[in-house]
């Protein structure tokens, strides 16, 4: 397992490479950057841009890409990665329509709704219906969707990368069951019975607006053996910048809560781009 930041991961059993919401570009957009970061500032009305040189360095290959929703920090780099690697991409119809606009071939694209359970050669994945984080003090709500009648012409503006519905995935790879999260929210009944070995737990601050989030999450997922926090960092900062604020605000309280709620779980703090070997 390798953490790209935001909700992005690479997982592999040594044969099959599965990416989840890979976004190495980490553009400085919409505020929240650092004064020492001299990269260009992007507005949400600007055309989307990908750091292809960095992507080439970090992602030489991929077999599958799981996209949990269509926001730019989840999908922004996927068009380039999919075209470059030929990876098969699984996501909502909104996600698939954006990728088609960028010229990703149809035979690489799998539109899903939630509830599907697909078997591939050395990999299987169950698509789990989800919810987006309760942003803006729980006022966030976006019902927009793209479909085959939606005119889209790439390149899109950052603001055109809409949510389009949210998903989680139960990825089965190398004898492990990995439950992904792309948001700080979930549908409790959809997680019950999945019993992942590894949980990618969304733990950014917006989870605090939800009732008893940490306990409900760890209980619904069956107190997983390994918990890897995800989407906790400031994803507008480039790699190498301090993430201490996110560690103190998001990671430390979650680790302390998990120690009490699920003492049998091992919570591993991911460091950007440093592989985590789970045996």
Residues 126-173: tens digit of each pLDDT: 999 999 999 999 999 999 999 999 999 999 999 999 999 999 999 999
User: Under 8 Å CB-to-CB from 84, ≥6 apart: which residues?
Assistant: 55, 56, 59
Half-sphere exposure of 165 (CA within 13 A, CB side): 17
Among 129, 134, 265, residue whose Cα is nearest residue 192: 129
Asked if 254 contacts 214 with a C-beta cutoff of 8 angstroms, the reply is yes
User: Under 8 Å CB-to-CB from 151, ≥6 apart: which residues?
Assistant: none
Asked if 169 contacts 110 with a C-beta cutoff of 8 angstroms, the reply is no
Helices (H), the chain: 52-58, 72-75, 78-85, 93-101, 135-138, 188-191, 213-220, 244-246, 252-261
Q: How confident is the model over 30-51, as pLDDT tens digits? A: 877 788 899 999 999 999 999 9
- What does the pLDDT average to over 223-244? 97
Largest pairwise CA distance in the chain = 51
Among 9, 34, 37, residue whose Cα is nearest residue 23: 9
| Dist. CA 219–CA 21, nearest whole Å | 25
- What does the pLDDT average to over 20-33? 91
Please give the pLDDT value at position 31.
Answer: 76
pLDDT interval class at 279 (50, 70, 90): confident
pLDDT at 72 over 90: yes
pLDDT at 209 over 90: yes
Among 104, 53, 39, residue whose Cα is nearest residue 75: 104
Asked if 229 contacts 28 with a C-beta cutoff of 8 angstroms, the reply is no
| Dist. CA 179–CA 277, nearest whole Å | 17
| Dist. CA 234–CA 241, nearest whole Å | 10
Is the pTM above the cut of 0.85? yes
Among 259, 235, 256, residue whose Cα is nearest residue 246: 235
In degrees rounded to 5, what are phi and psi of residue 110? -130, 105
Please give the pLDDT value at position 237.
Answer: 95
């Amino acid at each position: 397992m390798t953490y790209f930041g935001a909700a992005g991961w690479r997982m592999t059993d040594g044969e099959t490479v599965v990416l989840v919401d890979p976004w190495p570009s980490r553009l400085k957009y919409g505020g929240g950057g650092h004064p020492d970061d001299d990269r260009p500032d992007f507005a949400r009305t600007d055309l989307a841009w990908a750091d292809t040189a960095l992507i080439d360095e970090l992602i030489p290959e991929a077999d599958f890409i799981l996209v949990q929703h269509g926001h730019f920090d989840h999908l922004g780099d996927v068009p380039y990665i999919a075209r470059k690697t030929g990876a098969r991409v699984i996501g909502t119809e909104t996600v698939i329509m954006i990728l088609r606009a960028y010229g990703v071939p149809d035979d690489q694209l799998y539109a899903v709704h939630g509830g599907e359970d697909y078997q591939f050669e050395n990999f299987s994945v169950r698509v789990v219906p989800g919810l987006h984080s309760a942003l803006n003090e729980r006022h966030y709500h976006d019902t927009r969707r793209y479909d085959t009648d939606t005119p889209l012409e790439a390149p899109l503006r950052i603001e055109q990368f809409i949510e389009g519905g949210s998903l989680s995935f139960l990825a089965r790879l190398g004898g492990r069951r990995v439950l992904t999260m792309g948001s700080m929210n979930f549908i409790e009944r959809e997680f019950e019975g999945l019993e992942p070995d590894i949980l990618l737990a969304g733990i950014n601050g917006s989870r605090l607006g939800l009732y008893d989030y940490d306990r409900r999450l760890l209980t619904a997922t069956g107190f997983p053996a390994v918990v890897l926090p995800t989407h906790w960092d400031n994803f507008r900062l480039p790699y190498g910048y301090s993430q201490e604020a996110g560690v103190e605000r998001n990671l430390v309280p979650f680790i302390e809560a998990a120690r009490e709620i699920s003492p049998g779980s091992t919570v591993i703090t991911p460091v950007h781009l440093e592989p985590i070997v789970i045996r």
